[in-house]
Copies of this chain bind each other. A is one copy, B any other.
Amino acid sequence: MGRARLRDLGLSTGTLPTGPLNAITDVAGVEVGHATLIRDEPAIVRSGVTMIWPSRDIWTDYCFAGFHSFNGNGEMTGTIWLAEQGLLSAPIGITCTHCVGVVRDAICSYAAREGIRQAFHLPVVAETHDGWLSDAETFPVTAAMAHAALDQAAAGPVAEGAVGGGTGMICHEFKGGIGTSSRLVETGGEQFTVGALVQANYGSRDLLRVDGVPVGREIPHAEVPGHRIPMADGGSIIVILATDAPLLPIQCQRLARRATTGLAWVGGIGANGSGDIFLAFSTGNRVRNNAPHADVRMLGAERMTPLFRAAAEATEEAILNALTAAETMTGFKGRTLYALPLDRLQQVMTRYRPKPL
Contact = CB atoms under 8 A, between A and B. Distances in A.
Contacts of A211: 212
11 contacts: A73-B84, A74-B80, A80-B277, A120-B234, A188-B293, A189-B292, A261-B268, A264-B264, A269-B312, A292-B299, A296-B296
Contacts of A15: 206
Interface stretch (A103-111, A158-166, A172-180, A330-338): A103-111
Contacts of A122: 73-75, 97
Interface string A262-306: 001100111111010100000000010011111111111111110
B98 A101 contact: no
A206 to B, nearest CB: 7
Nearest to A131: B119
> Which residue, of A99, A287, A302, has the highest number of chain B Cβ atoms within 10 A?
A302
A209 interface: yes
Interface of A: 15, 69-81, 83-87, 97-106, 108-109, 112, 119-120, 122, 125, 129, 131, 136-137, 139, 188-189, 206, 209, 211-214, 218, 231-234, 246, 248-250, 254, 257-258, 260-261, 264-265, 268-273, 275, 277, 287, 290-305, 308-309, 312, 348, 351-352, 354-355, 357
Contact of A302 (B125, B275, B290): B290
A298 to B, nearest CB: 5
Contacts of A100: 77, 101, 104-105
Prevailing SS type, chain A contact patch = mixed
A212 B13 CA distance: 12
> Which residue, of A75, A272, A304, has the highest number of chain B Cβ atoms within 10 A?
A272
A341 to B, nearest CB: 15
Contacts of A125: 101
Given A72-B81, A272-B301, 6 more contacts: A79-B80, A87-B301, A264-B265, A287-B298, A293-B297, A351-B355
Contacts of A249: 248-250
A249 to B, nearest CB: 5
Given A100-B105, A139-B105, A296 B293 contact: no
Nearest to A97: B120
